[in-house]
Amino acid sequence: MSIDLAVIGGSGLYNFPGLENAQRQSVETPFGPASGDVVTGDFAGKQLAFLARHGESHSLPPHRVNYRANLWALHQLGARRVVGVNAVGGIRDDMGPRVIVVPDQVIDYTHGRFTSFCDVEGAEVKHIDFSEPYTASLRRDLLAAAARAGVPAIDGGCYGATQGPRLETRAEIARMKRDGCDLVGMTGMPEAALARELELEYACLALVANFAAGCGDEEEISIEEIFAHLAAATAEVPKILAAMLAG
């Protein structure tokens, strides 16, 4: 099977709008089950594969996602380019609700996750170069496609990956800001590193659902508002990817 692009959908993106001739693919992996079936089909004249990171009913919290199985399944189906769509909180002032960011760096604050395919007995130990965690050419393609589609997108930013599923304290966000983080999310790692181990091109479309704790004007973060902002940003994703595939 020839897959032109694989998309991993985050919170709010559980199926891919506009996917035609869709077929469900159940892929067995050496690392257990993926988050669900991979759905393949035609989009913008190309073959696209879609996988809902949290499951189609959002049944998997961030720390329980089988990231290894997800990446392996997409790789097994022939994907070579992967876009991870991630719901995030904004730390930097210009990264407020409904803003779309294509980050270029990541800091990993997660713990207890399977972070490498090397964790399996007898596997080859790979020391990947992760100085640039996202594939530069794919990032450029996403940004150019967003411009063609008329969708504003910020070029660059540091994604801080936290454990979840709870949101962060004000003190934690203040520390992350001191560390240089511009965004905070719960699913950016180990996904990016695993993609690199499989030699996949990988980039992130970060959709800002809310300001992180202490960064906006609101005293308390409303889950209802988060999902309203997320729905608005998510609606722009197919436009960007259609422009990229058609480009």
Is 15 annotated as a binding-site member?
no
Give how far Cα 5 sits from Cα of 61, 69, 145, 230, Å. 25, 18, 14, 22
Is 11 annotated as a binding-site member?
yes
Q: What radius of gyration do the chain's Cα atoms show?
A: 17
Is 29 annotated as a binding-site member?
no
3-class state of residue 168 by DSSP: coil
Is 57 annotated as a binding-site member?
no
- Nearest to residue 55, comparing CAs of 28, 75, 37, 31? 37
Q: Which two tokens stand for residue 156?
A: 């660059």
DSSP assigned state of 119 = G
Is 186 annotated as a binding-site member?
yes
Is 211 annotated as a binding-site member?
yes
Is 43 annotated as a binding-site member?
no
DSSP assigned state of 60 = S
Task: Show the DSSP H helices in 15-159 as ranges.
Answer: 67-76, 136-149
Is 212 annotated as a binding-site member?
yes
- Spatial contact of 68 and 29, defined as CB atoms under 8 Å apart: yes
Give per-residue burial for 110-143: e unless 16+ CB within 10 Å, then b: beebebbbeeeeeeeeeeeeeeebbbeebbebbb
Instruction: Name 177's Cβ contacts closer than 8 Å, sequence gap at least 6.
Output: 91, 215
State the binding site. Answer: 11, 53-54, 186-187, 210-212
For the annotated binding site for phosphate, the residues are 11, 53-54, 187
Annotated binding-site residues for substrate read 186, 210-212
